[in-house]
Amino acid sequence: MGLKDENLTLMRKYGIKAQKKYGQNFLINEEVLDKILKSADIKNEDLVIEIGPGLGNLTKRLCDKAGEVVAIEIDKEMANILTQEYENLHNLHIVNMDVMKCNLSEIINEYPNLTVKVVANLPYYITTPIIMKLLEEEYDIKLIEVMVQKEVANRLCAKPGTSDFGAITLAINFYTNIDYIVTVPAKDFLPAPNVDSAVTRMEIVKNKIEVEDKNLLFSIIKASFLMKRKTLLNSLGSAKILGIDKASLGNILEKLNIPQNVRAENLSIEDFNRLTSEYIKISKDKGIK
């Protein structure tokens, strides 16, 4: 019996259906599941946090390889099914909670001697907030490997100068080294979504970029992409961050050898970091706090 039939049997047994409100699409391609495990390099020394385990197709494989697995499931019915069906998996710990409200630090601190990895088929309606929570709150996590919509994966992995490159790409580049692992067609899920998916692997790099003011850096990035088709000079000139006017911004770009007509999508995270440093210098010269 394949995974599709197993899942259908399990759903009939408990009288449930996949819930659209939770973005439930269960991965039923065993080859893709194997690729996820191989890429994440799950070992006995790892604590794996799985977000949205659903019917446990990935969960039971994680338990075979990891030291401990914490599965965070928002759906009470799914959490109950996992508890009943996998009660023999003694390294599986099920948390019935919205991951956005979950204190992940508490969970991680319970396993101080294990390396933390997040491996998940993320609910598509809340993919970006979950990823940014994991990154911005700077948990002691080594790796994030997640299934997302292919369109989102393209944005996460985009290179400067491409149409997919945006503020989210820069955030990913600030915190991680990212790789596009595999494309997963819609037919590999139950029920099949309307879009294809992809697995991305993000290796967390602590202090990857030395920055004077992280909040200012991301304020500049956000303002730069609010009007993406405008030049950087016009976008940031209109925003007047730290009271720096368009003329002063033009001087900064010239000093950094950045063309006056450049758009935000053409600059790397390193470019924005240099830009931020110049902002700080000018604001100090002007006595702006």
CA–CA distance, 139 with 116 (Å, rounded to integer):
9
Q: Would you say residue 209 lies in a domain?
A: no
Number of domains, the chain:
2
Same structural domain for residues 34 and 166? yes
CATH code at 127?
3.40.50.150
Q: Would you say residue 194 lies in a domain?
A: yes
Neighbours of 254 (CB within 10 A): 11
Q: Would you say residue 53 lies in a domain?
A: yes
| Interstrand relation of 68-73 and 92-96 (parallel, antiparallel or unpaired) | parallel
Same structural domain for residues 133 and 20? yes
Same structural domain for residues 176 and 233? no
User: What is the mean pLDDT of each successive set of 10 residues along the chain, which is 289 residues long?
Assistant: 91 91 92 96 98 96 98 95 94 97 96 97 93 95 97 97 95 97 97 96 94 95 89 90 87 94 96 95 68
Q: Is 108 within 8 Å of 139 (Cβ atoms)?
A: yes
- pLDDT score of 288: 52
Same structural domain for residues 13 and 126? yes
CA–CA distance, 285 with 160 (Å, rounded to integer):
31
Q: Would you say residue 228 lies in a domain?
A: yes
Rg (alpha carbons) of the chain, rounded to whole number: 22
Same structural domain for residues 60 and 113? yes
Same structural domain for residues 45 and 153? yes
Same structural domain for residues 99 and 238? no
DSSP string, the chain: --HHHHHHHHHHHHT----GGGT--EE--HHHHHHHHHHHT--TTEEEEEE--TTSTTHHHHHHHSSEEEEEES-HHHHHHHHHHTTT-TTEEEEES-GGG--HHHHHHT-TTSEEEEEEE--GGGHHHHHHHHHHTT-S-SEEEEEEEHHHHHHHT--TTSTT--HHHHHHHHHEEEEEEEEE-GGGEES--SS-EEEEEEEE-TTSS--S-HHHHHHHHHHHHHTTTS-HHHHHHHHTGGG--HHHHHHHHHHTT--TT--GGG--HHHHHHHHHHHHHHHHHTT--
Domain assignment of residue 251, given as a range:
214-285
CA–CA distance, 169 with 271 (Å, rounded to integer):
14
Q: Is 182 within 8 Å of 199 (Cβ atoms)?
A: yes
Last residue of a domain, one of 204, 223, 255: 204
Same structural domain for residues 92 and 171? yes
- pLDDT score of 286: 63
Last residue of a domain, one of 147, 171, 204: 204
Which pTM was predicted? 0.93
Same structural domain for residues 10 and 115? yes
Same structural domain for residues 148 and 267? no
Same structural domain for residues 196 and 264? no
Same structural domain for residues 200 and 239? no
In Å, what is the CA distance from 181 to each residue of 103, 173, 289?
Answer: 29, 16, 44
* Beta bridge partners of residue 201, listed in sequence order: 145, 179
Last residue of a domain, one of 204, 227, 244: 204
